[in-house]
């Protein structure tokens, strides 16, 4: 990790994210934290930004463009359906070996990666199939 020095707010934000085992938007993170402590929305954003640069928090954008933040250690990846927009978590990361190999062959020091698959989940694929046939495409 880069540095370990964190402000109290940064620590609180990170802990909250770690306890939620799912990605959160900045707004819902803020709402959630307000239930237990006093914190400003700007501080949430500032902390998320600092934690991103510390390599402790990662972000991804949903199909709709909503930005979601999660603790890096969770290291979860998703398959996201292009039709219904739902995201399905992968149960394990298929990239450990590749990351190690890349690490060895380049001067870049990797802390974490993001990986997401896009396509159609089964129900949507079936539904689209039905539509295609009824339109005789």
Partner DNA sequence: TTCGAGAATGATAATCATTCTCATTTTATG
Partner DNA sequence: CATAAAATGAGAATGATTATCATTCTCGAA
Q: Least distance from C-beta 59 to a second copy, angstroms? A: 6
Q: Least distance from C-beta 38 to a second copy, angstroms? A: 25
Query: What b/e sequence results for 6-17 when a residue is b if at least 16 CB atoms lie within 10 Å of its CB, and e otherwise?
Result: beebbebbbebb
Q: Which of 13, 24, 29, 54 binds a second copy (CB under 8 A)?
A: 54
C-alpha dihedral sign at 5, 1, 78, 50: positive
Close Cβ partners of 57 (under 8 Å, ≥ 6 residues apart)? 13, 14, 17, 48, 51, 69, 70, 71, 72
Q: Which residues bind DNA (CB under 7 A)?
A: 7-10, 25-27, 38-43, 45-47, 49, 64-67
| Per CB under 8 A, 105 contacts a second copy | no
Q: Which of 3, 133, 134, 136 binds a second copy (CB under 8 A)?
A: 3
Tokens representing 65 are: 């463009």
Q: Least distance from C-beta 128 to DNA, angstroms? A: 17
| Per CB under 8 A, 100 contacts a second copy | no
Q: Least distance from C-beta 129 to DNA, angstroms? A: 21
Using CB distances below 5 to 8 A depending on partner kind, what does residue 42 bind out of a second copy, DNA, none? DNA
Close Cβ partners of 72 (under 8 Å, ≥ 6 residues apart)? 55, 56, 57, 58, 111, 112
Q: Choose one: 11-19, 33-41, 107-115; the region binding a second copy (CB under 8 A).
A: 107-115
């Amino acid at each position: 990790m880069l540095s370990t020095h964190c402000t109290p707010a940064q620590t609180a934000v990170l802990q909250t994210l770690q306890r939620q085992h799912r990605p959160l938007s900045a707004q819902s993170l803020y709402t959630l934290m307000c239930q237990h402590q006093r914190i400003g929305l700007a501080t949430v954003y500032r902390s998320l930004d600092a934690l991103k640069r510390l390599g402790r928090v990662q972000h991804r954008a949903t199909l709709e463009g909503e930005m979601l933040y999660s603790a890096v250690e969770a290291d979860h990846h998703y398959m996201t359906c292009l039709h219904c927009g739902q995201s399905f978590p992968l149960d394990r990361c298929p990239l450990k070996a590749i990351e190690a190999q890349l690490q060895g062959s380049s001067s870049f020091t990797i802390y974490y990666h993001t990986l997401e698959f896009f396509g159609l989940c089964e129900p949507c694929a079936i539904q689209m199939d039905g539509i295609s046939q009824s339109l005789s495409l």
